[in-house]
Amino acid sequence: MSLVARTLEAAGLPTVIIGSALDIVEHCGVPRFVFTDFPLGNPCGPPDRRDVQRAVVELALGLLSGAEKPRTMVRAPFDWHDPEWRGRYGRLDPAERERLRQLGDQRRARVADRKSRYGM
């Protein structure tokens, strides 16, 4: 999304990114960024917290209209509803490792088959 935002900005369309991957977005150098310290895939907050989601979007719209300089970043003042989420995020249960490896192998085989059939 960061690269899409840069392309849109170059075409004269203002953008604001809402996201949790601070290092990636800062590296790409988007013009306006609202950082939410939430698990990836939840940039506006927990699914059941419309108040937080609305506040994040309002923060983004305010940044879109009020940023005074390029590469402006605002940190959303919200915490994830479970303070222990980082310790569990992306953790793989060792008992699931082999099953997930097999699923990945099957997926890669399907993709390779499609590519060979369609000359990709």
Chain segment 78-99, per-residue pLDDT in tens: 988 888 888 887 788 888 889 9
What is the Cα–Cα distance from 94 to 74, expressed in whole angstroms?
A: 38
**% of the chain exceeding 70 in pLDDT:** 100
Helix (H, G, I), strand (E, B) or coil at 39: coil
pTM above 0.75, yes or no: no
Within 13 Å and on the Cβ side, how many CA atoms surround 35? 14
**Inter-residue contact 63 to 19 (CB < 8 Å):** no
